[in-house]
Amino acid sequence: MTQTMSAPERYDGFDVMPIAGEWRAGRSGESKADLDPWSGDTLTEIALADADDLDEAYRAAREAQPGWAARAPGERAGIMRAAAAIFEARKDEIVGWIVRESGGTLAKGELEWGLVRSVLYEAASMAHRVEGRIMPSDVPGKESRVYRRPVGVVAVISPWNFPMQLSARSVAPALAVGNAVVLKPAGDTPVTGALLLARIFEDAGLPPGVLNATIGSGREIGDAIVEHPLARMVSFTGSTPVGEGIVKKAGVKKVALELGGNGPLVVLDDADLDRAVDAAVFGSFFHSGQICMIANRVIVDASVHGAFVDRFVARVRALVAGDPSDGATQIGPVINQGQLDGIRDKLARARDEGAEQVLGGDPGGPSGLLLPPHVLVAGNDAATAREEVFGPVITVIRADGEDDALRIANDTEYGLSSAVFTRDVERGVGFALRVDAGMTHVNDSPVNDDANTAFGGEKASGIGRFGGRWAIEEFTTDHWVSVQHEKRPFPI
């Protein structure tokens, strides 16, 4: 007889945060309601942390880190695997939180859950992949050893759009290679961005103080988490203006930044249009366009522009917008009123500048944050094309041949993700290598769903790389140790 395992009791107590091994309220005297962007309901209310709470978190992390780093790689790997097992056992609970807190659809919640699970398993392998090397020396009898060791205490600052994944992809590798972490999630997603992850790691056996989470306002702890003298590295995912500020404030610290994007999806004259349309719909409107790697612009060769627009608009018009907890829903709400206002401002400016809006509509839903998908046809100078929109909006741009398409694709301050469609794979690769971006995908969406590859950008889109073996390099540092085996003469 097969025995069915019952689901674990759901986590609660997400009105407090883990600081120095204790789950407690912040001491700022202020609190913030965590709202469901679809219904407007309060999910939890958190007493926010202040600078003293943050300092306590850093001091606890600094104290706990050497002992954690000294543990055998197999122990650290085991905790990563245990966290992954808890993650699998609590799948429905975690997906439910992602849907309610970020406004993502069930499909988005499932995808994010799968990405984090992959990150945890990949992190488990990293504990055994930190490698040193022996370097040649010109000095007789000298041996040069290079040891790879953790940087120490890492500050992780994550955004609200893919909150659990964009926290986990830094937190899990940093922990696996022996660092301690102080995590600050976005104020809109404190549970999925930090508290759920911290509870799972705690249940997996992570020692107290190794992972601390501080939920607080940017005004109170935003600068302090970057400037704190115990932080040896800052890992940040978010907007370019905030990232530029971090570079100025971090001082002599290592930084890894994934910032804004203005992703081009290029359709060349020989592209399979049905395939390109499918990828453009997903790449433009998944999670209501609130993804840094999203296709912000679709650049289409003039010879197929009309046919592409007709097919694309027909597909987008059929998308279902509504309650994200309904499995049929493909477009959910945007995260908050400020985000909605910013999107609508860009739309208004683009129309004033002459852009043709071929599809759109007014916001609705219980909270008023459900914006239907918008399609505009315009040039690269329209507000919705030259700026990162971060909403369910796409601008389709006509290009006069391959060289013009490349020029338009690169005519932006950003360089995060991109895509090109052509029936000739080598032509696509040749085009990809000329795009100023950290990631270019041939005959695929610019929204990369492989968790263990090199995420990162060029130009105003960031510094460093996240994912896979690149994460090991980011969260460790070289220490050169030389050994002189025989006496040598010195010049004085």
Q: Which residues, 6 or more positions from 274, have their beta carbon under 8 angstroms from its beta carbon?
A: 311
Q: Is residue 486 annotated as a catalytic residue, yes or no? A: no
Confidence class of residue 451 from pLDDT cuts 50, 70 and 90?
low
Residues 290 and 391: their CA atoms lie apart, in Å, by 5
With a cut of 70, say whether residue 330 has pLDDT above it: yes
The per-residue pLDDT for 454 is 64
Q: Is residue 292 annotated as a catalytic residue, yes or no? A: yes
Instruction: Map out the domains of the chain as residue ranges.
Output: 17-259+461-479, 263-442
CATH H-level superfamily of 263-442: Aldehyde Dehydrogenase; Chain A, domain 2 (3.40.309.10)
pLDDT digits (tens, 9 = 90+) for 153-211: 999 999 999 999 999 999 999 999 999 999 999 999 999 999 999 999 999 999 999 99
pLDDT digits (tens, 9 = 90+) for 30-52: 999 999 999 999 999 999 999 99
Q: At what angle do helices 91-102 and 106-126 cross, to 10 degrees?
A: 120
Q: How far is CA 369 from CA 282, 321, 391, 481, in A?
A: 20, 11, 11, 57
Confidence class of residue 453 from pLDDT cuts 50, 70 and 90?
low
pLDDT digits (tens, 9 = 90+) for 113-148: 999 999 999 999 999 999 999 999 999 999 999 999
What is Dmax (Cα atoms) for the chain? Answer: 83
Confidence class of residue 436 from pLDDT cuts 50, 70 and 90?
very high
Confidence class of residue 3 from pLDDT cuts 50, 70 and 90?
very low
Least confident stretch, 161-165, 428-432, 435-439, 466-470: 466-470
- Long-range (24+ apart) CB contacts under 8 A made by 335-338 are 335/37, 335/102, 335/103, 335/160, 335/161, 335/188, 335/290, 335/369, 336/35, 336/37, 336/188, 336/369, 337/368, 337/369
Across the chain, what does the average pLDDT equal? 94
pTM over 0.85: yes
Catalytic residue of the set 112, 202, 292, 474: 292
Amino acid at 242: V
pLDDT digits (tens, 9 = 90+) for 251-301: 999 999 888 899 999 999 999 999 999 999 999 999 999 999 999 999 999
The per-residue pLDDT for 449 is 67
* Count of CB atoms situated within 10 Å of the CB of 148: 16
Least confident stretch, 365-374, 380-389, 443-452: 443-452
Tokens of 179: 């660092």
With a cut of 90, say whether residue 487 has pLDDT above it: no
> If you count them, how many residues does the chain have?
492
pLDDT, mean of residues 462-478: 85
With a cut of 70, say whether residue 247 has pLDDT above it: yes
Confidence class of residue 423 from pLDDT cuts 50, 70 and 90?
very high
pLDDT, mean of residues 21-26: 97
Catalytic residue of the set 112, 122, 258, 402: 258
pLDDT-above-90 percentage for the chain: 89
Confidence class of residue 1 from pLDDT cuts 50, 70 and 90?
very low
With a cut of 50, say whether residue 9 has pLDDT above it: yes
Residues 316 and 281: their CA atoms lie apart, in Å, by 7
The per-residue pLDDT for 4 is 47
With a cut of 60, say whether residue 462 has pLDDT above it: yes
CB 60 within 8 A of CB 212: yes
Tell which CATH classification among 3.50.50.60, 3.10.450.50, 3.30.70.330, 3.40.605.10 matches the domain 17-259+461-479.
3.40.605.10
